[in-house]
Amino acid sequence: MIDERMRTEINKQINAELYSAYLYLSMATYFEDQGLPGFANWMYCQNQEETFHGMKFLHYLVERGGRVDLLAIDEPPREWASPLAVLEHVYEHEQHVTSLINNLVDIAEEIKDRATFNELQWFVEEQVEEEASAETLVTKLRMIKDTPGPLLMIDNELATRVFTPPDASE
């Protein structure tokens, strides 16, 4: 049975992951409205990835005998000033999620919950990838400023992304 404090915090993390999915879905529709289907595709993939993360936490909590409490998901923003503003928001949001994961790791260490600590290592590694991916896009968009040609080239590049769920063994 999982510690009650850890159960509560994992439930909060499930909510945070599902909010992330909802946020990225909102960003995808923003890009659809802007005529940037590649950026929209990237965000749809992010949505799927965050949903996967939420479900990974949910299944872990169930496996440990903890009750899942699905909390209300906040409404995400719907408008941004530019594609760069969206990606800067993504980068800041991923840094926030990293801090949430790190907090869970701290709690697992504090209460000596080694099983949860081990489970969280996957998320720690995942957040390194998430931040790097967002930071790369921010850097590219800052370099091109408002130049349409390079923006469309990046859009075409992002259109090729496909979400592939990790192996169940991970």
Per-residue pLDDT of 82-107, as tens digits, reads 999 999 999 999 999 999 999 999 99
Query: CA dihedral defined by 133, 139, 140, 146, rounded to 10 degrees?
Result: 130
Calculate Rg over the CA atoms of the chain. Answer: 17
Distance CA 14, CA 70 (A): 8
Assigned token pair, 35: 């005529």
Residue 35 lies in a domain: yes
Number of domains in the chain: 1
Residue 169 lies in a domain: no
* Degrees, nearest 5: CA angle 67-68-74: 150
- Is the alpha carbon torsion for 157, 30, 97, 54 positive or negative? negative
Residue 109 lies in a domain: yes
Residue 44's pLDDT is: 98
Residue 168 lies in a domain: no
Q: Are 78 and 27 in contact (CB under 8 A)?
A: no
Q: In the structure, what pLDDT confidence band is assigned to residue 146 with cuts at 50, 70 and 90?
A: confident
CATH number at residue 61: 1.20.1260.10
Domain hosting 81: range is: 4-158
Query: Which among 60, 76, 50 is positioned nearest to 129, based on CA atoms?
Result: 50
- Residue found by looking up tokens 């479900």 in the block: 55
Residue 166's pLDDT is: 84
Residue 64 lies in a domain: yes
Query: Which among 100, 109, 80, 81 is positioned nearest to 20, based on CA atoms?
Result: 100
Residue 170 lies in a domain: no
Supply the pTM of this predicted model: 0.95
The conformation of residue 168, written as its DSSP 8-state character, comes to: T
168 pLDDT higher than 70: no
Residue 166 lies in a domain: no
Helices (H), the chain: 4-33, 37-63, 83-110, 114-144, 148-158
